């Protein structure tokens, strides 16, 4: 990455690799903890906005909005949306917004009028791949809610491994073997922008033990710890690439 603008664009693409991202998680400040990312050093909100517009204009992202009258199909409309986010207050009293015409959502602490998201197009995903060099054979998409779970991957061995290690990765949760259903899906998107000729999927029910204690990674068997780290590091994070700016 040779320029600051390129670094910011790649950082933004990286945010939405697996799921669309709400702009309220970038503006007025980056929600680094919930996003589990490092912020671009000394990056201003206006820089993020400028590069989001550049990504949209180059066809690398799409923007969607749940706000009536938002125009996500033109550069002028997208610029107005971003300007609205740039004017969001950094801090507001609980339940009250300093942003005219908006109030906070009680549960999430967000402002009505900020339900705007961006996601990668295939072009954006391909651009992200060039720098991040993902190892797709390590990629696993997992969904669970303590009563059931789903595992999807282009690598069948990863699906089997996750089933076998589930109780170590999710202490207190036990896969019920008799409920496991395995399928293959051809010509399938995983994540939402990347198409694979075939992926493998397992769904199952869970039994939850009461009073289960949380395990930390260093308490796992070493073989599991090594394997789990390899799965979690299936691509290179932006801050581990050459050219990342210093603090």
Domain boundaries of the chain, sorted by first residue: 4-132, 136-232
Which residues are registered as beta bridge partners of 206? Answer: 175
Closest by CA position to 113, among listed 77, 88, 93, 79: 88
Is 213 or 166 the better-scoring residue by pLDDT? 166
- Residue 211 confidence (pLDDT) above 60: no
pLDDT at 184: 98
45, two tokens: 């909100």
**CA dist., res. 192 & res. 20, Å (int):** 9
**CA dist., res. 131 & res. 240, Å (int):** 11
Question: Within 10 Å of residue 148's Cβ, how many Cβ atoms?
Answer: 14
| Burial of residue 247 (number of CB atoms within 10 Å: 0-12, 13-18, 19+) | exposed
Taking only the tens place, the pLDDT of each residue in 83-112 is 999 998 875 444 444 444 443 443 344 555
Report the CATH fold assignment for 4-132.
Arc Repressor Mutant, subunit A (1.10.10)
Torsion sign across C-alpha atoms 70, 72, 73, 77: positive
pTM of the predicted protein model: 0.86
**CA dist., res. 63 & res. 228, Å (int):** 33
Closest by CA position to 110, among listed 133, 94, 132: 94
pLDDT at 177: 96
Taking only the tens place, the pLDDT of each residue in 123-178 is 999 999 999 999 999 999 999 998 999 999 999 999 999 999 898 888 889 999 99
């Amino acid at each position: 990455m040779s320029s600051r603008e390129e670094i910011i664009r790649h950082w933004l693409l990286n945010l939405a690799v697996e799921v669309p991202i709400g702009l309220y998680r970038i503006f007025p400040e980056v929600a680094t903890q919930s996003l589990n990312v490092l912020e671009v050093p000394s990056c201003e909100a206006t820089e993020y906005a400028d590069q989001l517009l550049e990504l949209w204009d180059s066809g690398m992202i799409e923007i969607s909005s749940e706000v009536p009258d938002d125009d996500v199909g033109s550069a002028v409309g997208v610029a107005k949306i971003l300007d609205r986010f740039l004017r969001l207050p950094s801090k507001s009293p609980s339940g009250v917004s300093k942003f005219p015409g908006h109030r906070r959502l009680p549960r999430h602490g967000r402002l009505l009028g900020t339900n705007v998201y961006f996601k990668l197009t295939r072009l954006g995903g391909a651009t992200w791949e060039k720098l991040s060099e993902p190892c797709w054979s390590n990629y696993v998409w997992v969904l669970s809610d303590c009563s059931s779970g789903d595992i999807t991957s282009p690598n069948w061995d990863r699906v089997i491994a996750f089933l076998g290690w589930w109780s170590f990765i999710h202490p207190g949760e036990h896969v019920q073997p008799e409920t496991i259903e395995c399928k293959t899906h051809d010509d399938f998107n995983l994540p939402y922008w990347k198409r694979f000729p075939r992926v493998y999927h397992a769904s199952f029910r869970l039994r939850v033990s009461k009073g289960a204690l949380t395990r930390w990674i260093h308490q796992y068997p070493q073989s599991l710890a090594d394997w789990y780290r390899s799965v979690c590091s299936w691509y290179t994070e932006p801050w581990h690439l050459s050219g990342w700016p210093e603090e």
